[in-house]
Amino acid sequence: MDIRIENLTKTYGNLNAVDHMNLSINDGELVGLLGPSGCGKSTTLFMLSGLTTPTEGKIYFGDKDVTSIPPEDREIGLVFQNYALYPHMTVEDNITFPLINRGMKKAQAREEAFEIAKVVKIEQYMKRRPSELSGGQQQRVAIARALVKKPQVLLLDEPLSNLDAKLRVATREEIRRIQQEVKITTIFVTHDQEEAMSISDRIAVMKEGVLQQYEVPQTMYLNPANTFVANFLGMPEINNIEIDVKGGVISADGNILRKGASLADGHYKAGIRPESFYVDENGAALEVSNIRMTGRDLLLFTKLGSTDVRVLVHSYMQIGVGDKLGVSVRDEHILVFDDKEVLIGRF
Amino acid sequence: MDKKSFKGYLYLLPSIIIMVCFTLYPLVRAIIMSFLGDYSIINDSYNSIGFENYKALFSDPDFGKSLINTAIYVVCVVPASIILSLLFAVLINSCKKLKALFQTIYFLPYVTSVIAIGIVWRWMFNSNYGLINYVLSIFGVEPIQWLNLPEYAMPALIIFAIWKSMAFNILIFLAGLQTIPEDLYRAARIDSTPRLRVFTRITVPSLAPMIVYSSVIGMIGAFKVYNEVFSLFQGKAGPANSAMTIVYYIYDKFYNSYKYGVAAAGSVVLFLIILALTQIQLKVTGGRKK
């Protein structure tokens, strides 16, 4: 089911929780709504579900305007952040509940519940209560309950936030697998950029109710629309520096970073990702003030002139605190922003 | 006993003394008293030791009637009050704007003196000018002699008691309703659950602990019913003792007939009934938790 959001707005008092949002989602896509808490991503999800009524704007499922259709008639499945499983019912009763509500016979409902339970791999827990399951298993039950009525759209609110780190990675792969297996248009809300990038077909980044960028993860990471997106994506975070351009030469605090850039003379804001640096004896010399071992990489805390800069190098590199390191920036890895913090280009 | 726990017991001492004086000692005395024939509370004298009082108790038709009345009272008041309170609590809870107002109104009976309430209800039950007979007359029902005829005394008492006990139950259920996560109702909505099914499959099971609690407290309280009888029938047990309950019987034997031993025997019987009930309920609720 294609989804189209037009001018969607939700106002609470004077606050625009969601501000004139436009978005199109193709059938079968997995879209991540990403942003810090309070950015309006959950509000958007709840408006898609119908539990929240928009102040303004339209939502289309396919060609049908569903803006004023109540949630029970929207053919959606919704998975809540805390799963909202019915605690006094068994897993099976939880999953058959929506079917029996729609008048399905118990025997058939059970069969269908078993089918979907196999997809999410919880068929051996059918007789248990939610409290007897782990967080990850409860999550699967919630997804099964959402999918059992064969909805056109699956909505997930912070599906992984209640899981521990290891389970989170496994579960997000599961969500991707289930989504591909059922071939259902899926929208999920997250504040975790890594989560969003790893499984989404496209990501919508929001800030203070306004959609910042809607892109394929890789494109978004390489070409963030503005400094907010650039800072929100990537861990460790991007380095924000000030640059001066004169005659095509980009320099920061007197350290030359690039020559021959086709950029008008002036002062700019720029972003360089920690992994965009490479060791180069002829490059700018940085003094290492601190080192963090992260496993695959060493994260070096250094200073470029007066600006703090984080640099990632391979973990087999022998380097100590106080050492000097010459670095250059990979081609097309300096992100330059204008005075409105919008991306001009990569240099 | 080490020094630390000695200090601990010292802190408990005041409440232990109070409990021993006002609960344990009277309990033991009552049990002893129930085995003393013709006991006099004034000079502490008695004629015999044995089951004389219990024989008198069980051969007294009034005590038999009080047992039956109390049983009818418990069986009618507790379930009816819980069912009605549950419905009212859900209604009050769904009315977001006037919730606080209704909550206060429905709680008033709990904080008002039973005697005062009794006077109001006596007026309501009045066969000539009462509100209840007036409402019934709209539906063509002849005036009922609520408080003057023996056959209507128990129904009047039960209606009065249900109304009065609802206050506490509504409070408990309203508190319980607050603890049900809003997301459960949202999920039910997404799952297109009919309203009645939301109530029976989500609200009621979520309130199960409160319902069990209310029925335990309500049942124990109902077995000890006395105030309601006293206030509704102005210190009597209804016309021709038709609304005699166990506690009223005990009171009557003690203060009006000066049969202290029989009164003590009656309270021991009531004690055993409540003890047995509590044990059963503890078993049932304990089993639920597992």
List pLDDT tens digits, range B200-240. 999 999 999 899 889 988 999 999 999 999 999 988 888 98
- pLDDT at A42 exceeding the cut of 80: yes
Block residue for tokens 């959001």 = A5
Helix or strand or coil: residue A342? strand
A206 to chain B nearest CA, in Å?
24
Q: Which residue has the higher pLDDT, A3 or B277?
A: A3
Question: pLDDT digit string (tens) for B144-181?
Answer: 899 999 999 999 999 999 999 999 999 999 999 999 99
- pLDDT at B1 exceeding the cut of 90: no
Nearest to A51 among B181, B186, B194 (CB): B186
Question: pLDDT digit string (tens) for B15-39?
Answer: 999 999 999 999 999 999 999 988 8
- What is residue A290's predicted lDDT score, i.e. its pLDDT? 93
Element containing residue A170 per DSSP (H, E): helix A165-182
Which of A334, A177, A217 lies closest to A268, judged by CA? A334
Residues of chain B with Cβ-Cβ distance to A84 below 8 Å are 181, 183-184, 186-187
- pLDDT at A127 exceeding the cut of 80: yes
- What is residue A329's predicted lDDT score, i.e. its pLDDT? 94
- For residues A283 and A328, is the Cβ–Cβ distance under 8 A? yes
- For residues A33 and A206, is the Cβ–Cβ distance under 8 A? yes
- pLDDT at B188 exceeding the cut of 90: yes
- What is residue B76's predicted lDDT score, i.e. its pLDDT? 96
- What is residue B280's predicted lDDT score, i.e. its pLDDT? 86
Which of A137, A155, A127, A153 lies closest to A33, judged by CA? A155
Lowest mean pLDDT among A97-101, B55-59, B100-104, B122-126: B100-104
Whether the CB of B183 is below 8 Å from some CB of chain A: the reply is yes
- pLDDT at B288 exceeding the cut of 60: no
- pLDDT at B95 exceeding the cut of 90: no
Mean pLDDT of chain B: 90
Stretch A147-174: mean pLDDT, rounded?
91
Percent of all residues in chain B with a pLDDT value above 70, rounded to a whole number: 98
CA within 13 Å, CB half, B273: 18
- What is residue A58's predicted lDDT score, i.e. its pLDDT? 95
Question: pLDDT digit string (tens) for A266-297?
Answer: 999 999 999 999 999 888 889 999 999 988 99
A130 to chain B nearest CA, in Å?
13
- What is residue B109's predicted lDDT score, i.e. its pLDDT? 87
Q: Which long-range contacts (CB under 8 A, 24 or more apart) does A245-253 make?
A: A250/A334, A250/A347, A252/A284, A252/A304, A252/A305, A252/A307, A253/A304, A253/A305, A253/A306, A253/A307
- What is residue B290's predicted lDDT score, i.e. its pLDDT? 39
- What is residue B287's predicted lDDT score, i.e. its pLDDT? 55
B157: alpha, beta or left? (left if phi > 0; alpha if psi -120 to 50): alpha
A238 to chain B nearest CA, in Å?
37
Instruction: State the DSSP string of chain B.
Output: --HHHHHHHHHHHHHHHHHIIIIIHHHHHHHHHTTEET-BTTTTB-SEESSHHHHHHHH-HHHHHHHHHHHHHHHHHHHHHHHHHHHHHHHHHH-TTTHHHHHHHHHHHHHS-HHHHHHHHHHHH-TTT-HHHHHHHHTTPPPP-TTTSHHHHHHHHHHHHHHHHHHHHHHHHHHHHHHS-HHHHHHHHHTT--HHHHIIIIIHHHTHHHHHHHHHHHHHHHHT--HHHHHHTTTS-SGGGTT--HHHHHHIIIIIS--HHHHHHHHHHHHHHHHHHHHHHHHHHHHHH-
Question: pLDDT digit string (tens) for A196-218?
Answer: 999 999 999 999 999 999 999 99
- Taking an 8 Å cut-off on Cβ atoms, the answer to whether B189 and A72 are in contact is yes
Q: How confident is the model at residue B3 (pLDDT cuts 50, 70, 90)?
A: confident
ipTM score of complex: 0.85
Whether the CB of B289 is below 8 Å from some CB of chain A: the reply is no
Among chain B residues, the shortest Cα distance to A82 is held by: B183
Instruction: State the DSSP string of A221-250.
Output: HHS-SBHHHHHHSSSSPPEEEEEEEETTEE
A132 to chain B nearest CA, in Å?
12
Among chain B residues, the shortest Cα distance to A145 is held by: B191
Stretch B107-133: mean pLDDT, rounded?
90
Mutate to test the interface with A, among B179, B186, B190 (most CBs of A within 10 A): B190
B207 to chain A nearest CA, in Å?
11
Q: What is the pTM of this model?
A: 0.82
- Taking an 8 Å cut-off on Cβ atoms, the answer to whether B193 and A78 are in contact is no
Percent of all residues in chain A with a pLDDT value above 90, rounded to a whole number: 85
Among chain B residues, the shortest Cα distance to A95 is held by: B191
Question: pLDDT digit string (tens) for A46-92?
Answer: 999 999 999 999 999 999 999 999 999 999 999 999 999 999 999 99
- pLDDT at B126 exceeding the cut of 50: yes
- pLDDT at B284 exceeding the cut of 90: no
Helix or strand or coil: residue A30? strand
- Taking an 8 Å cut-off on Cβ atoms, the answer to whether B184 and A84 are in contact is yes
C-alpha pair distances (Å), B109 with each of A241, B4, B125: 70, 46, 17
Rg value, chain A, Cα? 24
Stretch A308-325: mean pLDDT, rounded?
91
Residues of chain B with Cβ-Cβ distance to A101 below 8 Å are 191-194, 197
Residues of chain A with Cβ-Cβ distance to B192 below 8 Å are 72-73, 98, 101-102
- In A297-336, the residues whose Cβ lies within 8 Å of chain B are none
- Taking an 8 Å cut-off on Cβ atoms, the answer to whether A78 and B187 are in contact is yes
Nearest to A80 among B187, B197, B206 (CB): B187
Question: pLDDT digit string (tens) for A244-264?
Answer: 999 999 999 889 999 988 999
- For residues A144 and A96, is the Cβ–Cβ distance under 8 A? no
Stretch A308-331: mean pLDDT, rounded?
92
Whether the CB of A53 is below 8 Å from some CB of chain B: the reply is no
